[in-house]
């Protein structure tokens, strides 16, 4: 049973109107609360629900709001981790400088000792550039300080439940269930600074090991007990759903690296494949008026998600399973899937009649696409973790796998994922225990499955995973996040700064996208003993004798010819969408020499620098920050 404040259950008749609506302002405002009642108005400025001990608002009073950014930081000084890194995630550090701050206001009225109005809440951002301060949407969260940060019941801290003997699974932030859901007021402002929605809701910490990171993922619950049973807003860009029961604010710290965009990118790359993905929208978060960094709105994978994303008949008629070695029920029960595993164990899938039965139970096109994506993207934290699959509870649909959490991927472009996801070693528990590789290993015994898998892999390499497609999608996400990284780094020291972020993208993420194809084809050819494969990885790869430095740069850079031979041709600089921004013909770069390119006035972004000679061309990426 949820423990809700009693204010949500009492009759609320008095109307109170602020003279200024919440939102963004460019100068100070003086706000008054107006009412046609003689009830007493109380208000708070710290995120708490007003009580009779809060500030008293008298007729004729006004509340002055100004830019608070020069005031000392407060909420960012609460320690949110222990002092050692658990699972390698960042530990809490105090911000070095002052953070941006808004003003939060919550007010209501009392009569005869009882609350007589609804609690109204709003954020007043006073910035010299108003709503133009941020290019991303803004989410403002209002909570009681103790609900997040107290030692006994705060959900965002190690707290009293932390045990230093088992740091990997203890702490208040590891607590789950209704008892650890807290009241929150949430506001959403779009890119233009317009209020999208404002409502009370429930909030919990979300995730697995990332709960130990300093910035944590949050999940939000719309319930009638809080006032509204839905979030009535189109939260995510790539579907038309505008009613959510739950959604996530994902931390930036789950990335096995510091790119922040790795998991959203994986879903963008795979969005048209035959499996459900999670949509994403980056936002700027404020907690009780204090800047809290960049987080990303994501779908929460649950029974409601299956209804709007996968077309499930009804959210209460689905079976959704989670798998870590053995299937566990999130919705429904695992009995049907366990029976399927028993069939595979007792029957050789190499025989067509057994394979055909499997086809009646598993959406094989979904399963093939899903495995190809995990394998190509080199998700190390799988298949012994991060596995979900579902079907209608009455068995009228086949089992389908859901794609999520690729934070452990897009890093090691050499890694042989086929060996990884077919390992059969009883001593291994994570990330690829025998139970987790069981289905795929048995399906590979069937020649028809192997043939379909190989042909589909080649097809996806030419489409979703083509170098042009993946680089363009990466570039779009870099552009989307780039304006917000510097302030986020100041808050969390993750990544260290914008330059470090761009270096990580260039040296790890983009390098993976550039080089993965040939290693993936080599792994595939070796594993299946193929003499020929219907995909030319050389058409995707580039072998350069040109280097750009510095890279990333601020727009001025040099091209170094690392070969011994001179190069003659045309230098072209283009955006990733193909728009040419610079070209110079008749260029000579002698062996071991450089060509300086300066005063180009290139805006921030990712560019393709091409040197086209008479016989061949070379291309490389350039990041301008």
Summarize pLDDT for 333-362 with one digit per residue, the tens.
999 999 999 999 999 999 999 999 999 999
| pLDDT at residue 468, as a whole number | 83
The dihedral through the CA atoms of 377, 380, 386, 392 has a sign that is positive
Q: Which residues contact 314 (CB under 8 A, 6 or more apart)?
A: 307
| Residues 206, 156: Cα–Cα separation, whole Å | 11
Question: Is residue 10's pLDDT more than 70?
Answer: no
Residue-wise pLDDT tens digits, 241-293: 999 999 999 998 999 989 999 999 999 999 999 999 999 999 999 999 999 99
The pLDDT of residue 551: 86
Whether 252 contacts 131, CB under 8 Å: no
Burial tier of 94 (Cβ tally within 10 Å: 0-12, 13-18, 19+): exposed
Give the Å distances, CA to CA, from 3 to 64, 179, 212, 407, 548. 34, 7, 25, 34, 59
C-alpha 72/C-alpha 95 separation (Å) is 11
Structural domains of the chain, ranges and CATH numbers in brackets: 1-67+102-131 (2.60.40), 543-625 (2.60.40.1930)
User: Do 226 and 198 touch, CB atoms closer than 8 A?
Assistant: no
Mean pLDDT for the stretch of residues 82-100: 96
User: What whole-number percentage of the chain has pLDDT above 90?
Assistant: 80
Q: How many residues does the chain have?
A: 625
pLDDT at residue 6, rounded to an integer? 39
Phi, psi of 617 (to 5 degrees): -120, 160
- Mean pLDDT, residues 197-217: 98
Residue 142, strand partner residues: 185
Q: Which pLDDT band holds residue 8 (cuts at 50, 70, 90)? A: very low
pLDDT at res. 420: 98
Task: Report d(CA 320, CA 333) in Å as an integer.
Answer: 8
Is 285 within 8 Å of 239 (Cβ atoms)?
no
Across the strands, what pairs with 371?
Answer: none
- Which residues is 205 bridged to in the sheet? 218
Q: pLDDT band for 616, please (50, 70, 90 cuts).
A: low
How many CA atoms are closer than 13 Å to the CA of 399, on its beta-carbon side? 26
9, pLDDT greater than 50: no
Q: What are the tens digits of pLDDT across the range 527-550?
A: 999 988 888 876 665 446 788 888
What's the order of all strands across the beta sheet hosting 388-392?
326-331, 318-324, 388-392, 400-402
Beta bridge partners of 31: 63
Predicted confidence (pLDDT) at residue 236 exceeds the cutoff of 50: yes
Rounded CA gap, 299 and 570, in Å?
46
> What does the pLDDT read at residue 5?
45
Which range, of 190-194, 219-223, 454-458, 615-619, averages the lowest pLDDT?
615-619
Contact (Cβ atoms closer than 8 angstroms) between residue 617 and residue 608: no
- Give the integer Cα–Cα distance in Å for 74 and 97: 12
pLDDT for 326 beyond 90: no
pLDDT at position 541 is 53
| C-alpha–C-alpha distance, residues 249 and 205, integer Å | 10
Q: Residue 165: which residues within 8 A CB-CB, separation 6 or more? A: none
Q: What percent of the chain has pLDDT over 70?
A: 96
β 138-142/580-589 pair status: unpaired
Q: How far apart are CA 207 and CA 218, in angstroms?
A: 8
Which pLDDT does position 11 carry in this prediction? 52
Tell me the CB-side half-sphere exposure of residue 204, using CA atoms within 13 A.
Answer: 17
- Select the more confidently predicted residue: 461 or 554: 461
In this predicted model, what pLDDT tens digit does every residue of 101-132 receive, in sequence order?
Answer: 999 999 999 999 999 999 999 999 999 999 99
Give 3's pLDDT tier (boundaries 50, 70, 90). Answer: very low
Mean of pLDDT values over 31-41:
95
In this model, does residue 613 exceed pLDDT 80? no
- DSSP-H helix ranges across 64-173: 145-149
What pLDDT is recorded for position 17?
96
Mean pLDDT along residues 190-210:
98
Label the pairing between strands 280-287 and 138-142: parallel
Summarize pLDDT for 580-598 with one digit per residue, the tens: 999 998 788 887 788 999 9
CA-closest candidate to residue 463, choices 280, 269, 608: 269
At residue 563, does pLDDT exceed 80? no
Give the pLDDT score at 12: 59
* Residue 618 vs residue 454, higher pLDDT: 454
78 closest CA partner among 144, 150, 147: 150
352 C-beta neighbours (distance < 10 Å), count = 12
Tell me if 437 sits within 8 A of 423, measured CB to CB: yes
C-alpha 504/C-alpha 509 separation (Å) is 7
| pLDDT for the residue 252 | 87
Write the pLDDT tens digit of every residue in 471-502: 889 988 998 999 999 999 999 999 999 989 98
Q: How far, in Å, CA of 64 to CA of 101, rounded?
A: 15
Distances (CA, A) of 399 to 358, 372, 479, 558: 10, 17, 37, 54
CB-based contact 619:578 (threshold 8 Å): no
pLDDT over 70 (residue 37) = yes
What secondary structure does DSSP assign to 58-71, as a single string?
PTT--EEE---TTS
pLDDT for 544: 62
Classify 42 as helix, strand or coil. strand
């Amino acid at each position: 049973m949820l423990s809700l404040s009693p204010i949500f259950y009492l009759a609320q008749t008095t109307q109170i109107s602020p003279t200024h609506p919440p939102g963004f302002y460019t100068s100070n405002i003086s706000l008054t609360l107006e009412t046609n009642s003689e009830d007493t108005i109380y208000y708070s400025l710290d995120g708490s629900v007003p009580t009779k001990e809060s500030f008293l608002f008298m007729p004729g009073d006004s509340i002055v709001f100004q830019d608070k950014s020069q005031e000392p930081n407060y909420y960012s000084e609460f320690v949110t981790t222990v002092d050692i890194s658990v699972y390698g995630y960042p530990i809490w550090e105090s911000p070095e400088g002052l953070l941006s701050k808004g003003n939060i206001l919550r007010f209501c009225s009392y009569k005869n000792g009882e609350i007589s109005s609804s609690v109204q809440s709003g954020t007043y951002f006073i910035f010299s550039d108003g709503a133009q301060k941020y290019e991303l949407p803004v989410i403002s969260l209002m909570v009681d300080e103790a609900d997040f940060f107290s030692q006994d019941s705060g959900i965002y801290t190690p707290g009293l439940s932390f045990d230093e003997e088992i740091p990997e699974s203890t702490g208040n932030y590891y607590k789950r269930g209704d008892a650890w859901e807290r009241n929150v007021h949430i506001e959403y402002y779009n890119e233009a600074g317009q209020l999208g929605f404002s409502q009370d809701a429930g909030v919990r910490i979300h995730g697995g090991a990332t709960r130990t990171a300093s910035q944590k993922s949050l999940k939000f619950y719309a319930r009638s007990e809080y006032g509204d049973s839905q979030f009535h807003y189109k939260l995510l860009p790539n579907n038309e759903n505008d009613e959510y029961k739950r959604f996530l604010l994902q931390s930036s710290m789950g990335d096995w690296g510091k790119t922040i965009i790795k998991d959203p990118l994986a879903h963008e790359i795979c969005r048209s494949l035959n499996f459900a993905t999670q949509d994403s929208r980056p936002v700027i978060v404020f907690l009780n008026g204090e800047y809290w960094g960049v987080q990303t709105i994501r779908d929460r994978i649950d029974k409601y998600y299956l209804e709007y994303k996968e077309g499930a008949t009804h959210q209460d008629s689905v079976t959704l399973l989670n798998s870590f070695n053995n299937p566990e029920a999130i919705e429904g029960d695992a009995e049907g899937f366990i029976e399927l595993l028993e069939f595979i164990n007792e029957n050789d899938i190499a025989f067509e009649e057994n394979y055909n039965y499997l086809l009646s139970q598993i959406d094989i096109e979904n399963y093939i696409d899903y495995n190809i994506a995990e394998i190509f993207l080199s998700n190390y934290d799988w298949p012994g973790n991060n596995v979900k699959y579902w079907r209608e509870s009455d068995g009228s649909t086949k089992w389908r796998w859901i794609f999520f959490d690729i934070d452990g991927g897009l890093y090691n472009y050499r890694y042989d994922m086929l060996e990884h996801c077919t390992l059969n070693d009883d001593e291994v528990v994570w990330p690829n225990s025998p139970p987790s590789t069981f289905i795929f290993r048995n399906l590979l015994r069937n020649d028809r499955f192997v043939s379909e898998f190989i042909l589909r892999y080649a097809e996806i390499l030419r489409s979703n995973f083509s170098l042009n497609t993946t680089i363009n999608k990466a570039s779009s996400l870099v552009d989307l996040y780039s304006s917000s990284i510097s302030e986020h780094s100041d808050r969390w020291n993750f990544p260290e700064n914008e330059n470090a972020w761009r270096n990580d993208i260039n040296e790890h993420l983009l390098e993976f996208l550039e080089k993965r194809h040939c290693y993936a084809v080599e792994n595939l050819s070796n594993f299946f003993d193929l003499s020929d494969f219907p995909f030319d990885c050389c058409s995707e790869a580039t072998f350069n004798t040109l280097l750009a430095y510095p890279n990333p740069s601020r727009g001025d850079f040099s091209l170094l010819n690392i070969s011994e031979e001179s190069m003659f041709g045309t230098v072209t600089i283009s955006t990733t969408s193909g728009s040419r921004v610079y070209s110079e013909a008749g260029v000579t770069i002698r062996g071991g020499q450089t060509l300086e390119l300066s005063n180009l006035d290139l805006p921030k972004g990712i560019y393709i620098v091409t040197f086209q000679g008479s016989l061949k061309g070379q291309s490389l990426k350039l990041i301008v920050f």
